[in-house]
Structure 1
């Protein structure tokens, strides 16, 4: 299944408490359950003012639908074309 990186501009998100992040995660998971098994959240990186999420989905449209229902911005969605890491250099 294609993998995507979603950039969510959310000023101040890095200052959220663990409980607030838990609530946001629960809300996202609720919507994922509604949308079914074709969309999967892999993980996210929280920075000061943005969240970068990695999702698997058949297309960008389903990711946009998740963002709309969950109430999260999806400022940029990019399909991952390849993954590299230090072992790629070997």
Structure 2
């Protein structure tokens, strides 16, 4: 199944509290369960004014639907074609 990088513009994201991030996570998971059980949220990275998320999903449209129903932006959705990491240097 395709993997996507979602860029979400969230002003002051770095200042979200642990409790706020937990609430966002719970809400996101609940919304996902109501949309499509094939969609998987793998991880997210919180930066100063953005949250970057990695999802596995059938297509971009279902990610947009999740963002709309969850009430969070999905400003840029990019299909991930491949990944690399330091272990590739040892090959």
Q: For this structure pair, what is the TM-score category when the shorter chain's length is used for normalisation?
A: over 0.9
| Distance across 2 between alignment mates of 1:88 and 1:81 | 16
TM-score by length of 2: 0.95
| Distance across 2 between alignment mates of 1:84 and 1:13 | 27
What residue ranges of structure 2 are gaps of 5+ in the alignment?
Answer: none
What residue ranges of structure 1 are gaps of 5+ in the alignment?
Answer: none
Deviation at 1:36? 2.4
What is aligned with 1:32?
A: 32
TM-score by length of 1: 0.96
Count of residue pairs the alignment pairs up = 90
What root-mean-square deviation, in Å, do the aligned CA atoms of Structure 1 and Structure 2 show? Answer: 0.7
SS at match of 1:83: coil
| Distance across 2 between alignment mates of 1:8 and 1:71 | 11
| Distance across 2 between alignment mates of 1:9 and 1:37 | 26
